[in-house]
Structure 1
Amino acid sequence: MSYKIVVDSCCELPEELKGDPRFEIVPLGIEVGDWHIQDDAGFNQAEFLKKVAECPTCPRSSCPSPDRYKQSFDCDADHIYVVTLSANLSGSHNSAVLGKNLYEEKHKDKKIHVVDSRSASCGEAQIALKAMELEEQGLSFEEIVKRLEDFRDEMNTYFVLNNLETLRKNGRLTGVKALVASTLNIKPVMGATAEGTIIQLGQAIGFKKALQKLADTVVQGTKNPQKKCLMITHCNNPAKAESVRQMILDKVQFADSRILDTAGISSMYANDGGIIIAV
């Protein structure tokens, strides 16, 4: 059986898989003032961060249409897995489900499953890579779907950002009851609920101490790390990403670890310097 894995562009795939025919990235749109782009292979992070720094208004995103997802299903693959941003953070998941329903009206034989990552960024990548791993093991579609959902339910997402204004102004922090003043240089350590909404897990004075608290939170919250991949995404901050990885690996051993740079949507919400971890 052949397969295909469709992800929205908040998912950071490793470089070696970006041109792989088994994968397709469906782009979201990004607006910075009057500047409109698609979050696709042409995304230039340095240019984007410069535009954001110069623009007085907050950047915004737009999800793919159901028809765009529907187009991605029109292929020879027997099994299709779709991994999207948390349904509680974006309309991307709803568009993917609608696209699936539209496609299945005329293609009853295709097996398509849409996974709400209840995460973002490297959390989506974790699920996409797990789908590939399970398919390569030759498991049935139904068994893979079950294992993917279980994998998603066991996964945790954490992050520390230099500022939370983009998330706040775009209404992504509605589940956070209170945040400390940024003028105090207190950096919150954030995470996600089982439903995929953002919560505050802790805080520290300064970005360096917040990253140490982030590392400690990952170590304490990860069960059976020796069977898992530690995945870290950063926005223009490779040194800090490597530093966090070492903080974690000094205390626990993982089966593998990866560091990825953010694409457009993740860059928009993480802001310059942000660190995201999914495990």
Structure 2
Amino acid sequence: MKYKSWKQQEGQMTFKIISDSSCDLDKETLKNLDVEVIRIKGTDEKGQDLSEDLTNKEIYKRMREGAFFKTSQITYYDYLKKFEKFAEEGKDIIALTLSSGLSGTYQNACMAKKEIEEKYDIRVEVVDSLAASVGFGQITYFAGLAAKNGATYDEVLDFAKFLVEKTKHIFTVYDLKYLYEGGRISKAKAKISSVLNILPILEVDGEGKIYVSEVVRGKNKSYKKMMDMIEERTTSDGSDMVFPVYADDEKVIDPLIKKLEERGHNKFLPLEIGQTIAAHVGPDIFGLAYLSENIPEEFKKYLD
């Protein structure tokens, strides 16, 4: 038997966008967009749960003092509880998840979707972002803004799918010990990179997995290399917002923004990388998310 809320019975159906904390949008932005977020939990090296009140800067400080952290995926039950909350209000749901190439959260959300749709007369769509951190933030931000400005459920869903297909990430880290600890590179590579000041340029592939696409020597060369790679990968005219990302040193993205401005970009939403991704790549990071082509007018009209 499927249950209907009083809102559904009166024909007042609305919908809710649900994301998770790895999108790295700040609380104020998420509140303004009316996007619900499920928190990804973390633990320290002693297995103690990290407090919800622990700030990103406190995380970075502890990491620089030698601490390592682990994160756990959002469970099926976590999604079920969150979906049920809005199902009881009669709201359809669009759930945006962290990349299935990095986490099992997408599969867990799909299992919860099946149970909710069997019980409630609502629609639930789960969208695998194939993204993380700033790329996931870009998708969440644009989808949330479109919904806030009057886009229908199907329009937001179509827009989200466009964003997943066109979102690109590019970033570098200049302390590779966290990638080594996470098993992404060997100890020898981490040591050689440190001694020779070699930085990896990382991107996210079509399966939502992080890979090393280029290497450069020195931070200054990384800025130019990133810009050259972006120009090769996009046909955008620069009119859409770009999302730079940094950790505890916001100034590290200034040269990147300057180079983007020189090439016609003028809209930026810098994001501070959150503890979910920082736990795996460390606090020494900068980069950005961008779109490989301009947002079509059918969606752009909802972004002003």
Using the size of structure 2 for normalisation, the TM-score is 0.80
Structure-2 change in CA distance of 1:105 and 1:211 (3 Å): same
Name whichever structure is richer in strand by fraction. Answer: 1
Report the equivalent of 2:113.
100
Report the equivalent of 2:135.
123
Q: Which of 260, 266, 271 matches 2:271?
A: 260
Amino acid at match of 1:211: Y
Q: Which of 250, 257, 260 matches 1:238?
A: 250
In structure 1, distance between residues paired with 2:60 and 2:238: 36
Secondary structure in 2 matching 1:228 = coil
Moved more, 151-160 or 245-254: 245-254
Runs of at least 5 residues in structure 1 that lack an aligned partner in the other structure: none
> How many Å apart are 1:132 and its aligned residue?
2.0
Give runs of aligned pairs for residues 14-163 of structure 1, distance below 5 A: 14-20=26-32, 22-34=34-46, 36-38=48-50, 40=52, 42-55=53-66, 58-73=68-83, 74-75=85-86, 76=89, 78-107=91-120, 109-136=121-148, 138-163=150-175
Report the equivalent of 1:183.
195
In structure 2, distance between residues paired with 1:120 and 1:39: 22
Equivalences, count: 272
Amino acid at match of 2:176: L
Whether the 8 Å contact between 1:28 and 1:64 is mirrored in structure 2 is: yes
Q: Which of 194, 198, 201 matches 2:206?
A: 194
Cα deviation digits, residues 152-203 of structure 1 (max 9, x gap) = 10111111111333334334569xxx88633211001111111111222222
In structure 2, distance between residues paired with 1:224 and 1:213: 18
Whether the 8 Å contact between 1:11 and 1:120 is mirrored in structure 2 is: yes
Cα deviation digits, residues 226-263 of structure 1 (max 9, x gap) = 34210011111200112211111211325x21111122
> How many Å apart are 1:52 and its aligned residue?
2.6
Give runs of aligned pairs for residues 205-216 of structure 1, distance below 5 A: 205-216=217-228
Report the equivalent of 2:283.
272
In structure 2, distance between residues paired with 1:38 and 1:2: 34
Amino acid at match of 1:121: S
Runs of at least 5 residues in structure 2 that lack an aligned partner in the other structure: 1-12, 291-304
Report the RMSD for the aligned CA atoms in angstroms: 2.5
